[in-house]
Amino acid sequence: MLTQQEKVLMESFFLSKKLHRKEVLLLQSEHCKHLAFVVKGLLKTYNLDDKGNEHINLFAWEGWWASDMLSFFTGKPANFNIDAIEDTDILMISLANYNSLLEKIPAMERYFRILYQNSLLTKDIRLMSASTHTAEEKYLALAHSHPDLIQRVPQNLIASYLGLAPETISRIKRKIKRNPAQ
């Protein structure tokens, strides 16, 4: 729990930014200069293959963070693009401010450690799911864990995130509609 003084100090480390729908926050190959915390709205993090197809690796909505971590911490070119699916309000923190924040407010170091642990667990689960679950199981797991996301995100983006064709999502949704007991 942060003290009121720490909360006020913490605000000084962040910049506020508004993104319009489809506005780009980060382009692949640029240097990622900020971690972005979503206050309101929805971002997607993705890379483009040689054919220009999007491969979404993360949706970030209220309370989530989005960044290209490798680029942010090393200064290397970003592997991912980040843009807004909806009008989005974010708080951004630079690497220098991030390091100062952790130094001046030790509770934030614990917060980020737990955040990174949870992120690694989520990625492990997602990797395992990609190789062991059927298309229907992947969709149903996402629908059960994040039903609001299914409502907010266009079907083609959900398909990209799950590594499926949009037509596959359509078939799964039709099957669920016919048999809602799932």
**What's the domain count of the chain?**
2
Q: How confident is the model at residue 176 (pLDDT cuts 50, 70, 90)?
A: confident
Q: What is the CATH number of the domain that holds 58?
A: 2.60.120.10
Give the domain-ending residue among 66, 91, 109: 109
Read off the pLDDT of residues 62-89 as tens digits, 9 standing for 90 and up: 999 999 999 999 999 999 999 999 999 9
Query: In this structure, are 124 and 74 located in the same domain?
Result: no
Q: What is the spatial distance between Cα 59 and Cα 112, in angstroms, rounded to a whole number?
A: 19
Would you call 40 helix, strand, or coil by DSSP? Answer: strand
Q: How confident is the model at residue 179 (pLDDT cuts 50, 70, 90)?
A: confident
Query: In this structure, are 84 and 125 located in the same domain?
Result: no
Query: In this structure, are 162 and 80 located in the same domain?
Result: no
Read off the pLDDT of residues 113-153 as tens digits, 9 standing for 90 and up: 999 999 999 888 888 888 889 999 999 999 999 999 999 99
DSSP 78: P
Sheet with 54-61: list strands edge to edge. Answer: 24-26, 81-84, 42-48, 54-61
Query: In this structure, are 70 and 160 located in the same domain?
Result: no
Read off the pLDDT of residues 104-121 as tens digits, 9 standing for 90 and up: 999 999 999 999 999 999
- Domain containing 51 equals 1-109
Question: Is the full-model pTM beyond 0.85?
Answer: yes
Residue type, 143: A
Query: In this structure, are 8 and 79 located in the same domain?
Result: yes
State the DSSP H helix or E strand holding residue 17, giving kind and residue range, or none if neither.
strand 15-19
Q: Residue 182: pLDDT above 60? A: no
DSSP code per residue over 116-134? HHHHHHHHHHHHHHHHHS-
